[in-house]
Chain A
Amino acid sequence: MKYIYLDNAATTRVAPEVLEAMTPYFTEYYGNPSSIYSFAGKSKDAMEEARAKIAGILGAKPEEIYFTGGGSESDNWALKATAEAYANKGKHIITSTIEHHAILHTCEYLEKHGYEVTYVGVDENGIIRLDELEQAIRPDTILISVMAANNEIGSIQPLKEIGEIARKHGVFFHTDAVQAFAHIPLNVDEMNIDMLSASGHKINGPKGIGIMYIRKGVKIGSFIHGGAQERKRRAGTHNVPGIIGMAKAAEIADAKMEERMAYEIRLRDHLIERVLAEIPYSRLNGDRTKRLPNNANFCFRFIEGESMLIKLDQKGICGSSGSACTSGSLDPSHVLLAIGLPHEIAHGSLRLTISQETTMDDIDYTVDELKKIIEQLRSMSPLYEDFVKHQQ
């Protein structure tokens, strides 16, 4: 069966050019970049070139880019190491209610270790409340961490404004840009970003590789202790193929960003318009325009997400849901609850995230199938039965 892959926020296909760029670093130039002989110099040079490419995309200096094992590691590093390094200044951190668990669970960990965290709320479209953010700043605040774009509902946060507020109050600003990096324009200087996390596998690069941008002057220590790699700030033998792959993927994504954004937005908007027009009792989650080009997130009343996903899967369509059954707990997505949705509606959510490989036919097929699936599930839903009886 042909798969229609609409879960690009979960992970993406490694682009053929990316794999091609990586391959020699597995089998030919496999030297450890930390070694002294010239053979290893090939890997080192390629790695430094990769670093410079990524720095260029973010408007950063190459020496401010650190390679990590992925987005979650970068998030953990930013929060825990800042907390530790600046504990003398204060033990207060500000974040948002819609962060990824890599941030939220790290904050919970820090709370158990004597730190205080303020979780700033978002509006009904999933955009952070800037006034609330500024009011939350205290003399002992050391860090503001707000994601660049939300992984579930795609809402793009006002990074420039957040950066200005942080700078004004002398507080560091970290952003989890895992969903945004190389998808939308980001510039660390224009946005006053002090630390930034990004990942390779969300941009048609490989899994298991990420970066952290750390502005010069931010004096955080190492999170992974060991060898002297990454200027003694991140130990562990370099994942050279991963590094090469991530940089290649970022380079391609950056070069084609405008074109790709326009294409994805056209498909996304077609998807949103058709769903809202043709499926009754549906709603779009997240901001209509301030959202990632590839993200659509809906709620369908009276039905539950996992059932919907299984039925979509049987039609070859890969999507995701914020329902409890897919999260492994009894609570639906914290993001959908944060934008004010009641539990029973949040359980019926569906996230579809497209890529440059998605076609208009894929979108039309998906909506056609989705309509049938929702009708089928509603016909067996006691909530729908009650609703219809109430209407009569």
Chain B
Amino acid sequence: MYSEKVMDHFNNPRNVGEIENASGVGTVGNAKCGDIMRMYLDIDDNGIIQDCKFKTFGCGAAVATSSMATELVKGKTVQEALQVTNKAVMEALDGLPPIKVHCSLLAEEAIHAALWDYAEKHNIKIEGLEKPVNDISEKEEEEEEDY
């Protein structure tokens, strides 16, 4: 059901791990639905993403899209990283089964959530960036009460 690229990124995920004192960290998803992605960004003074790491709780597609997303944003500027869409992640993976498309959306949102955190921490505004709806970095408790 998965492309070779997806299986490759699932079996050998790139950039798994954490970044200590990261410039920005974003966690998106929902344990209820079975996918949580956390993205760590190390951004230098010129606004270039020097390093990117992730941790993911989820299915094969969730792991592969997170892995591919880290590859796509590494070395890019903040503005360029913002242009990495779920479509780009999917295309880079040679497609996903229809039921797994939401995983690629989550990957896009994970990047946005990490950038949002970076912007907040550094008191800057990133043109075109809105707070991702699935960001659960700060509202975890309130989410749980809903269920």
Chain A residues close to B by CB (< 8 Å): 302-307, 310, 314, 323-325, 328, 330, 332, 343-344, 347, 379-385
Establish whether residues B34 and A307, one from each chain, have CB atoms under 8 Å apart when the complex forms: no
Docked Cα-Cα span, A328 to B34, in Å, equals 12
Establish whether residues B56 and A381, one from each chain, have CB atoms under 8 Å apart when the complex forms: yes
The B interface, classified by DSSP as helix, strand, loop or mixed, is: mixed
* 16 sampled A-B residue pairs with Cβ under 8 A: A303-B57, A304-B57, A304-B58, A304-B59, A305-B59, A324-B33, A325-B34, A325-B100, A344-B31, A344-B32, A344-B57, A380-B16, A380-B55, A382-B57, A383-B57, A385-B38
Q: Which residues of B in the span 60-92 have a Cβ within 8 Å of any Cβ on A?
A: 60-63
The 7 closest A-B pairs by CB, nearest first: A344-B31, A306-B59, A325-B59, A382-B38, A347-B34, A343-B32, A382-B55
Which residue in A302, A304, A380 is a CB contact (below 8 Å) of B13? A380
Which of under 10, 10 to 19, 20 to 34, or 35 or more describes the interface residues of B?
20 to 34
Q: Which residues of B in the span 19-67 have a Cβ within 8 Å of any Cβ on A?
A: 27, 31-38, 54-63
Establish whether residues B32 and A304, one from each chain, have CB atoms under 8 Å apart when the complex forms: no
Docked Cα-Cα span, A310 to B18, in Å, equals 24
Cβ contacts under 8 Å, A384 to chain B: 57
Establish whether residues B59 and A328, one from each chain, have CB atoms under 8 Å apart when the complex forms: no
Establish whether residues B27 and A382, one from each chain, have CB atoms under 8 Å apart when the complex forms: yes
Establish whether residues A385 and B18, one from each chain, have CB atoms under 8 Å apart when the complex forms: yes
Whole-angstrom distance from the CB of B114 to the nearest CB of chain A? Answer: 12
Establish whether residues B10 and A310, one from each chain, have CB atoms under 8 Å apart when the complex forms: yes
The A interface, classified by DSSP as helix, strand, loop or mixed, is: helix
Whole-angstrom distance from the CB of B9 to the nearest CB of chain A? Answer: 12
Is B99 interfacial (CB-CB < 8 Å)? yes
Whole-angstrom distance from the CB of A299 to the nearest CB of chain B? Answer: 13
Chain B residues close to A by CB (< 8 Å): 10-11, 13, 16-18, 27, 31-38, 54-63, 99-100, 147
Whole-angstrom distance from the CB of A104 to the nearest CB of chain B? Answer: 21
Docked Cα-Cα span, A8 to B61, in Å, equals 27
Docked Cα-Cα span, A343 to B33, in Å, equals 8
Which residue in B17, B33, B58 is a CB contact (below 8 Å) of A307? B58
Docked Cα-Cα span, A305 to B57, in Å, equals 10
Docked Cα-Cα span, A330 to B17, in Å, equals 26
Docked Cα-Cα span, A382 to B66, in Å, equals 12
Establish whether residues B18 and A380, one from each chain, have CB atoms under 8 Å apart when the complex forms: no
Cβ contacts under 8 Å, A302 to chain B: 57
Establish whether residues A307 and B10, one from each chain, have CB atoms under 8 Å apart when the complex forms: yes
Additional A-B contacts beyond A323-B34, A343-B31 (17; CB < 8 A): A302-B57, A304-B59, A307-B62, A310-B60, A324-B34, A325-B60, A332-B34, A343-B32, A343-B147, A380-B16, A380-B54, A380-B55, A380-B56, A380-B63, A382-B27, A382-B37, A383-B31
Establish whether residues A330 and B57, one from each chain, have CB atoms under 8 Å apart when the complex forms: no
Whole-angstrom distance from the CB of B96 to the nearest CB of chain A? Answer: 12
Cβ contacts under 8 Å, A324 to chain B: 33-34
Q: Looking at A304, A305, A324, which has the most chain B CB atoms within 10 Å of its CB?
A: A304
Q: Looking at B32, B38, B63, which has the most chain A CB atoms within 10 Å of its CB?
A: B32
Whole-angstrom distance from the CB of A327 to the nearest CB of chain B? Answer: 10
Establish whether residues A381 and B147, one from each chain, have CB atoms under 8 Å apart when the complex forms: no
Whole-angstrom distance from the CB of A378 to the nearest CB of chain B? Answer: 9
Known: A307-B10, A324-B34. A381 touches B59 (CB 8 A): no
Cβ contacts under 8 Å, B31 to chain A: 343-344, 347, 383
Cβ contacts under 8 Å, B61 to chain A: 325
Q: Looking at A314, A324, A382, A383, which has the most chain B CB atoms within 10 Å of its CB?
A: A382
